[in-house]
Amino acid sequence: MQRILGVARHYDWGSPTAIPAFLGDPPDPERPVAEVWFGAHEDAPSPVAGSDQTLLDVVGNRLPFLVKLLAPGRSVSLQVHPEPHLAEAGFREDEASGIPRDDPRRRFKDPVHKPEMVFALTPFTGLVGFRPVAECVRDLDRLDADLARRMRAELTGPGPDGDRRRRALQTALDASADEVKGFGGEIPWLADLAEQYPGDPGVAAAVLLRRFVLAPGEAVFVPSGMIHAYSSGLALEVMANSDTVLRAGLTTKLVDVDALMRCVDFDSEAAVEVSRHHSAGRLYSPAVTEFALLDATAASPEPVPISLAGQQIALCVEGPVELIDGANRLELGPGQAAYLADAKGLSMRGPGRLVLAGPGRES
Protein backbone atom coordinates (compact mmCIF):
# COMPACT_ATOMS: atom_id res chain seq x y z
CA MET A 1 0.00 0.00 0.00
CA GLN A 2 1.31 3.43 -0.93
CA ARG A 3 -0.26 6.82 -0.30
CA ILE A 4 -0.62 8.75 -3.53
CA LEU A 5 -1.51 12.40 -4.03
CA GLY A 6 -4.04 13.82 -6.44
CA VAL A 7 -3.13 16.31 -9.15
CA ALA A 8 -5.51 19.28 -9.40
CA ARG A 9 -6.63 20.52 -12.82
CA HIS A 10 -7.77 24.13 -13.01
CA TYR A 11 -10.19 24.55 -15.93
CA ASP A 12 -12.51 27.50 -16.41
CA TRP A 13 -15.65 25.39 -15.98
CA GLY A 14 -14.62 24.07 -12.55
CA SER A 15 -16.17 24.91 -9.20
CA PRO A 16 -14.10 27.14 -6.90
CA THR A 17 -15.62 25.53 -3.80
CA ALA A 18 -16.76 21.89 -4.25
CA ILE A 19 -13.43 20.04 -4.31
CA PRO A 20 -11.66 22.35 -1.80
CA ALA A 21 -14.57 21.85 0.64
CA PHE A 22 -14.38 18.07 0.15
CA LEU A 23 -10.62 18.08 0.78
CA GLY A 24 -10.83 20.53 3.68
CA ASP A 25 -8.87 23.21 1.80
CA PRO A 26 -9.69 26.92 1.57
CA PRO A 27 -11.29 27.91 -1.75
CA ASP A 28 -9.55 30.21 -4.20
CA PRO A 29 -12.13 32.12 -6.27
CA GLU A 30 -9.45 32.87 -8.86
CA ARG A 31 -8.53 29.21 -9.42
CA PRO A 32 -11.54 26.89 -9.83
CA VAL A 33 -10.71 23.23 -9.28
CA ALA A 34 -12.39 21.27 -12.06
CA GLU A 35 -10.76 17.87 -11.51
CA VAL A 36 -8.26 16.01 -9.34
CA TRP A 37 -6.51 13.07 -11.03
CA PHE A 38 -5.41 9.90 -9.24
CA GLY A 39 -3.52 7.51 -11.48
CA ALA A 40 -0.68 6.89 -13.89
CA HIS A 41 -1.43 9.03 -16.93
CA GLU A 42 1.54 10.85 -18.47
CA ASP A 43 -0.21 14.23 -18.35
CA ALA A 44 -0.69 14.22 -14.57
CA PRO A 45 0.73 11.15 -12.77
CA SER A 46 0.03 11.01 -9.05
CA PRO A 47 3.02 11.75 -6.81
CA VAL A 48 3.81 8.99 -4.32
CA ALA A 49 3.70 10.48 -0.82
CA GLY A 50 7.08 10.74 0.89
CA SER A 51 9.11 10.13 -2.26
CA ASP A 52 10.25 11.85 -5.44
CA GLN A 53 8.48 9.26 -7.58
CA THR A 54 5.14 9.28 -9.31
CA LEU A 55 2.75 6.37 -9.66
CA LEU A 56 3.85 6.10 -13.29
CA ASP A 57 7.41 5.45 -12.05
CA VAL A 58 6.17 2.81 -9.61
CA VAL A 59 4.01 0.80 -12.00
CA GLY A 60 6.43 1.24 -14.93
CA ASN A 61 3.58 1.61 -17.36
CA ARG A 62 0.07 2.93 -17.54
CA LEU A 63 -2.67 1.49 -15.41
CA PRO A 64 -5.70 0.54 -17.52
CA PHE A 65 -7.87 2.96 -15.53
CA LEU A 66 -7.81 6.51 -14.18
CA VAL A 67 -9.72 7.96 -11.20
CA LYS A 68 -10.81 11.59 -10.93
CA LEU A 69 -12.75 13.88 -8.67
CA LEU A 70 -14.98 15.99 -10.91
CA ALA A 71 -16.67 19.27 -9.93
CA PRO A 72 -18.34 21.35 -12.64
CA GLY A 73 -19.16 24.90 -11.64
CA ARG A 74 -20.93 25.26 -14.98
CA SER A 75 -21.64 22.89 -17.82
CA VAL A 76 -18.69 20.92 -19.17
CA SER A 77 -18.23 20.75 -22.95
CA LEU A 78 -20.60 18.80 -25.19
CA GLN A 79 -18.28 15.90 -25.94
CA VAL A 80 -17.71 12.31 -26.96
CA HIS A 81 -14.89 9.81 -26.56
CA PRO A 82 -14.17 7.72 -29.67
CA GLU A 83 -14.39 3.95 -29.91
CA PRO A 84 -11.05 2.06 -30.03
CA HIS A 85 -10.55 1.92 -33.81
CA LEU A 86 -11.45 5.60 -34.20
CA ALA A 87 -9.19 6.62 -31.29
CA GLU A 88 -6.25 4.75 -32.81
CA ALA A 89 -6.83 6.17 -36.30
CA GLY A 90 -7.24 9.73 -35.00
CA PHE A 91 -4.12 9.43 -32.83
CA ARG A 92 -2.05 8.28 -35.83
CA GLU A 93 -3.39 11.21 -37.85
CA ASP A 94 -2.49 13.78 -35.17
CA GLU A 95 0.94 12.18 -34.72
CA ALA A 96 1.60 12.31 -38.46
CA SER A 97 0.63 15.98 -38.45
CA GLY A 98 3.27 16.67 -35.82
CA ILE A 99 0.84 18.26 -33.32
CA PRO A 100 2.32 18.00 -29.80
CA ARG A 101 0.20 16.28 -27.18
CA ASP A 102 -0.09 19.47 -25.13
CA ASP A 103 -1.02 21.67 -28.10
CA PRO A 104 -4.58 23.09 -27.81
CA ARG A 105 -5.14 22.01 -31.43
CA ARG A 106 -4.54 18.37 -30.53
CA ARG A 107 -7.73 16.26 -30.76
CA PHE A 108 -6.64 12.66 -30.13
CA LYS A 109 -4.22 12.64 -27.18
CA ASP A 110 -4.23 8.87 -26.69
CA PRO A 111 -4.62 5.89 -29.06
CA VAL A 112 -7.14 4.15 -26.77
CA HIS A 113 -10.81 4.65 -26.06
CA LYS A 114 -12.24 6.24 -22.94
CA PRO A 115 -15.39 4.67 -21.56
CA GLU A 116 -16.14 6.16 -18.14
CA MET A 117 -18.49 5.99 -15.20
CA VAL A 118 -19.64 8.89 -13.02
CA PHE A 119 -20.39 8.09 -9.36
CA ALA A 120 -22.18 10.93 -7.54
CA LEU A 121 -20.79 12.13 -4.20
CA THR A 122 -23.34 14.95 -3.98
CA PRO A 123 -26.44 15.53 -6.12
CA PHE A 124 -24.96 15.59 -9.62
CA THR A 125 -26.53 16.68 -12.89
CA GLY A 126 -25.54 16.03 -16.46
CA LEU A 127 -26.69 15.31 -19.99
CA VAL A 128 -25.83 11.77 -21.03
CA GLY A 129 -26.89 9.93 -24.19
CA PHE A 130 -29.91 10.59 -26.36
CA ARG A 131 -33.51 10.85 -25.23
CA PRO A 132 -36.35 9.07 -27.01
CA VAL A 133 -37.24 10.99 -30.16
CA ALA A 134 -40.81 11.65 -28.99
CA GLU A 135 -39.55 13.43 -25.83
CA CYS A 136 -37.26 15.66 -27.91
CA VAL A 137 -40.11 16.57 -30.25
CA ARG A 138 -42.33 17.44 -27.29
CA ASP A 139 -39.77 19.92 -25.91
CA LEU A 140 -38.95 21.40 -29.31
CA ASP A 141 -42.65 22.15 -29.70
CA ARG A 142 -42.36 24.40 -26.61
CA LEU A 143 -39.69 26.58 -28.25
CA ASP A 144 -40.71 29.42 -30.52
CA ALA A 145 -37.61 29.41 -32.72
CA ASP A 146 -36.97 28.60 -36.35
CA LEU A 147 -34.02 26.42 -35.35
CA ALA A 148 -36.30 24.36 -33.09
CA ARG A 149 -38.74 23.86 -35.97
CA ARG A 150 -35.95 22.71 -38.30
CA MET A 151 -34.66 20.26 -35.71
CA ARG A 152 -38.19 18.98 -35.17
CA ALA A 153 -38.59 18.42 -38.91
CA GLU A 154 -35.45 16.27 -38.95
CA LEU A 155 -36.61 14.25 -35.94
CA THR A 156 -40.01 13.53 -37.49
CA GLY A 157 -38.63 12.80 -40.96
CA PRO A 158 -37.99 9.41 -42.55
CA GLY A 159 -35.57 6.76 -41.36
CA PRO A 160 -34.63 5.00 -38.10
CA ASP A 161 -34.17 6.96 -34.88
CA GLY A 162 -30.38 7.03 -35.20
CA ASP A 163 -30.51 8.68 -38.62
CA ARG A 164 -33.06 11.25 -37.46
CA ARG A 165 -30.96 12.10 -34.40
CA ARG A 166 -27.90 12.51 -36.61
CA ARG A 167 -29.68 14.98 -38.86
CA ALA A 168 -31.15 16.92 -35.91
CA LEU A 169 -27.79 17.12 -34.14
CA GLN A 170 -26.04 18.29 -37.30
CA THR A 171 -28.72 20.96 -37.76
CA ALA A 172 -28.17 22.19 -34.20
CA LEU A 173 -24.38 22.26 -34.45
CA ASP A 174 -24.46 24.07 -37.81
CA ALA A 175 -26.60 26.89 -36.37
CA SER A 176 -25.30 30.44 -36.09
CA ALA A 177 -25.03 32.33 -32.82
CA ASP A 178 -28.03 34.46 -33.76
CA GLU A 179 -30.16 31.36 -34.38
CA VAL A 180 -29.29 29.96 -30.95
CA LYS A 181 -29.88 33.12 -28.90
CA GLY A 182 -32.88 32.71 -26.64
CA PHE A 183 -33.19 29.01 -27.51
CA GLY A 184 -33.83 27.95 -23.90
CA GLY A 185 -37.33 29.43 -23.86
CA GLU A 186 -39.66 27.99 -21.24
CA ILE A 187 -37.47 25.00 -20.34
CA PRO A 188 -35.64 26.10 -17.15
CA TRP A 189 -32.54 23.89 -17.36
CA LEU A 190 -32.10 24.73 -21.06
CA ALA A 191 -32.57 28.45 -20.41
CA ASP A 192 -29.89 28.23 -17.72
CA LEU A 193 -27.53 26.56 -20.19
CA ALA A 194 -28.27 29.28 -22.76
CA GLU A 195 -27.37 31.91 -20.17
CA GLN A 196 -24.05 30.18 -19.46
CA TYR A 197 -23.15 29.86 -23.16
CA PRO A 198 -25.08 32.51 -25.12
CA GLY A 199 -25.20 31.79 -28.85
CA ASP A 200 -23.44 28.42 -28.52
CA PRO A 201 -24.84 25.68 -30.81
CA GLY A 202 -24.29 23.18 -28.01
CA VAL A 203 -27.31 24.71 -26.27
CA ALA A 204 -29.57 23.64 -29.13
CA ALA A 205 -27.94 20.19 -29.26
CA ALA A 206 -28.58 19.71 -25.53
CA VAL A 207 -32.34 19.36 -26.06
CA LEU A 208 -31.64 16.00 -27.72
CA LEU A 209 -29.93 14.56 -24.64
CA ARG A 210 -31.24 12.90 -21.48
CA ARG A 211 -30.85 14.97 -18.33
CA PHE A 212 -29.83 13.05 -15.21
CA VAL A 213 -30.05 14.22 -11.61
CA LEU A 214 -28.07 11.61 -9.69
CA ALA A 215 -28.47 11.15 -5.96
CA PRO A 216 -25.29 10.49 -3.95
CA GLY A 217 -24.26 6.87 -4.54
CA GLU A 218 -25.89 6.63 -7.95
CA ALA A 219 -23.82 6.12 -11.08
CA VAL A 220 -24.10 6.42 -14.86
CA PHE A 221 -21.92 4.53 -17.31
CA VAL A 222 -20.83 6.42 -20.43
CA PRO A 223 -19.46 4.07 -23.10
CA SER A 224 -17.29 5.23 -25.97
CA GLY A 225 -19.41 6.99 -28.59
CA MET A 226 -22.01 8.32 -26.12
CA ILE A 227 -22.40 12.10 -26.28
CA HIS A 228 -22.54 13.86 -22.92
CA ALA A 229 -22.03 17.10 -20.98
CA TYR A 230 -21.84 17.16 -17.17
CA SER A 231 -23.42 20.13 -15.44
CA SER A 232 -23.05 20.47 -11.66
CA GLY A 233 -22.18 18.73 -8.41
CA LEU A 234 -19.30 16.62 -7.10
CA ALA A 235 -18.60 13.16 -8.45
CA LEU A 236 -15.95 10.52 -8.71
CA GLU A 237 -15.11 9.41 -12.23
CA VAL A 238 -13.43 6.15 -13.15
CA MET A 239 -12.45 5.65 -16.78
CA ALA A 240 -10.10 3.96 -19.19
CA ASN A 241 -6.72 5.68 -18.97
CA SER A 242 -7.14 8.13 -21.84
CA ASP A 243 -7.50 11.89 -22.27
CA THR A 244 -8.97 11.96 -25.77
CA VAL A 245 -11.98 14.28 -25.88
CA LEU A 246 -13.80 15.51 -28.98
CA ARG A 247 -15.89 18.64 -28.40
CA ALA A 248 -18.70 20.32 -30.33
CA GLY A 249 -19.80 23.14 -28.05
CA LEU A 250 -20.23 24.56 -24.53
CA THR A 251 -16.49 25.14 -24.26
CA THR A 252 -13.62 27.55 -24.78
CA LYS A 253 -11.42 24.65 -25.95
CA LEU A 254 -11.01 23.26 -29.46
CA VAL A 255 -14.30 22.46 -31.21
CA ASP A 256 -14.26 19.87 -34.00
CA VAL A 257 -17.82 19.12 -35.06
CA ASP A 258 -16.82 16.85 -37.94
CA ALA A 259 -14.63 14.65 -35.72
CA LEU A 260 -17.33 14.44 -33.06
CA MET A 261 -20.04 13.53 -35.58
CA ARG A 262 -17.89 10.69 -36.92
CA CYS A 263 -17.52 9.25 -33.43
CA VAL A 264 -21.05 9.58 -31.97
CA ASP A 265 -23.20 6.48 -31.49
CA PHE A 266 -26.63 7.82 -32.45
CA ASP A 267 -28.44 4.86 -30.91
CA SER A 268 -26.91 5.35 -27.45
CA GLU A 269 -29.28 5.89 -24.53
CA ALA A 270 -28.01 5.94 -20.94
CA ALA A 271 -29.56 4.64 -17.73
CA VAL A 272 -28.65 4.76 -14.05
CA GLU A 273 -26.15 1.96 -13.45
CA VAL A 274 -27.35 -1.02 -11.41
CA SER A 275 -24.93 -2.23 -8.75
CA ARG A 276 -24.34 -5.79 -7.61
CA HIS A 277 -24.09 -6.88 -3.99
CA HIS A 278 -20.58 -7.29 -2.61
CA SER A 279 -19.63 -8.37 0.89
CA ALA A 280 -18.15 -4.91 1.52
CA GLY A 281 -20.84 -2.86 -0.21
CA ARG A 282 -21.95 -2.26 -3.80
CA LEU A 283 -20.03 -3.24 -6.92
CA TYR A 284 -20.48 -1.35 -10.18
CA SER A 285 -19.12 -3.44 -13.02
CA PRO A 286 -20.08 -2.13 -16.49
CA ALA A 287 -19.33 -4.08 -19.65
CA VAL A 288 -15.69 -3.01 -20.02
CA THR A 289 -12.45 -4.70 -19.03
CA GLU A 290 -10.62 -1.54 -17.94
CA PHE A 291 -12.43 -0.76 -14.70
CA ALA A 292 -14.97 -1.59 -12.02
CA LEU A 293 -15.84 0.35 -8.88
CA LEU A 294 -16.56 -0.85 -5.36
CA ASP A 295 -18.40 1.43 -2.94
CA ALA A 296 -17.32 -0.04 0.41
CA THR A 297 -18.27 0.73 4.01
CA ALA A 298 -17.30 -0.74 7.37
CA ALA A 299 -20.07 0.01 9.82
CA SER A 300 -18.70 -2.30 12.53
CA PRO A 301 -15.40 -1.87 14.39
CA GLU A 302 -14.21 -5.20 12.96
CA PRO A 303 -12.21 -5.23 9.69
CA VAL A 304 -14.26 -5.94 6.57
CA PRO A 305 -12.56 -7.94 3.79
CA ILE A 306 -12.53 -6.19 0.43
CA SER A 307 -11.15 -9.17 -1.51
CA LEU A 308 -10.56 -7.74 -4.95
CA ALA A 309 -7.72 -8.86 -7.21
CA GLY A 310 -5.33 -6.77 -9.27
CA GLN A 311 -4.03 -3.23 -9.06
CA GLN A 312 -6.38 -0.80 -7.33
CA ILE A 313 -6.70 2.85 -6.42
CA ALA A 314 -8.58 3.43 -3.16
CA LEU A 315 -10.10 6.84 -2.47
CA CYS A 316 -11.64 7.73 0.88
CA VAL A 317 -14.92 9.61 0.43
CA GLU A 318 -15.98 9.64 4.11
CA GLY A 319 -13.37 9.32 6.79
CA PRO A 320 -11.49 8.10 8.45
CA VAL A 321 -10.86 4.67 6.95
CA GLU A 322 -8.05 2.30 7.89
CA LEU A 323 -6.71 -0.05 5.23
CA ILE A 324 -5.25 -3.30 6.56
CA ASP A 325 -2.96 -5.58 4.56
CA GLY A 326 -1.35 -8.12 6.88
CA ALA A 327 0.84 -6.16 9.27
CA ASN A 328 0.58 -3.00 7.22
CA ARG A 329 -1.85 -0.23 8.18
CA LEU A 330 -2.74 2.96 6.33
CA GLU A 331 -5.30 5.52 7.48
CA LEU A 332 -7.03 7.72 4.92
CA GLY A 333 -9.22 10.79 5.36
CA PRO A 334 -11.67 12.27 2.86
CA GLY A 335 -9.99 12.88 -0.49
CA GLN A 336 -6.90 10.85 0.41
CA ALA A 337 -5.93 7.94 -1.81
CA ALA A 338 -3.72 4.86 -1.95
CA TYR A 339 -2.31 2.62 -4.64
CA LEU A 340 -2.60 -1.11 -4.01
CA ALA A 341 -0.47 -3.42 -6.12
CA ASP A 342 -2.83 -6.29 -5.31
CA ALA A 343 -5.82 -5.82 -3.04
CA LYS A 344 -6.69 -9.51 -2.78
CA GLY A 345 -5.87 -9.75 0.94
CA LEU A 346 -7.04 -6.29 1.86
CA SER A 347 -9.55 -5.36 4.53
CA MET A 348 -10.82 -2.03 5.85
CA ARG A 349 -11.98 -0.65 9.17
CA GLY A 350 -14.43 2.24 9.43
CA PRO A 351 -16.29 4.28 10.38
CA GLY A 352 -15.75 5.84 6.97
CA ARG A 353 -16.42 4.95 3.37
CA LEU A 354 -14.04 3.97 0.62
CA VAL A 355 -14.30 3.72 -3.16
CA LEU A 356 -11.98 1.28 -4.88
CA ALA A 357 -11.35 1.35 -8.60
CA GLY A 358 -9.63 -1.46 -10.41
CA PRO A 359 -9.77 -3.75 -13.41
CA GLY A 360 -13.18 -4.76 -14.67
CA ARG A 361 -13.37 -8.10 -13.02
CA GLU A 362 -14.13 -9.53 -9.58
CA SER A 363 -11.97 -12.16 -7.90
Active site residues: 247
- HSE of 241 in the Cβ direction (CA atoms, 13 Å)? 22
Exposed e or buried b per residue across 224-252, where buried means at least 16 C-beta atoms within 10 angstroms of its C-beta: bbbbbbbbbbbbbbbbbbbbbbbbbbbbe
Angle between helices 146-155 and 161-173 (to 10 degrees): 160
Element (H, E) at 90: helix 84-96
| Amino acid, res. 21 | A
Please give the Cα distance from 169 to 140 (Å, whole number): 13
Question: Which letter does DSSP use for residue 77 in this model?
Answer: P
Please give the Cα distance from 39 to 186 (Å, whole number): 43
Please give the Cα distance from 58 to 350 (Å, whole number): 28
Binding residues: 79, 81, 116, 228
Please give the Cα distance from 72 to 75 (Å, whole number): 6
Among 44, 46, 41, 76, residue whose Cα is nearest residue 62: 41
Phi and psi angles of residue 153, each rounded to the nearest 5 degrees, phi first: -65, -40
Q: Are 209 and 173 in contact (CB under 8 A)?
A: no
Question: Which letter does DSSP use for residue 73 in this model?
Answer: S
CA 199 to mean position of chain CA atoms: 25
Among 26, 20, 220, residue whose Cα is nearest residue 120: 220
Binding residues for Zn(2+): 79, 81, 116, 228
DSSP string, 130-168: EPPHHHHHHHHTT---HHHHHHHHHHTSSS-HHHHHHHH
Among 88, 17, 7, 8, residue whose Cα is nearest residue 49: 7
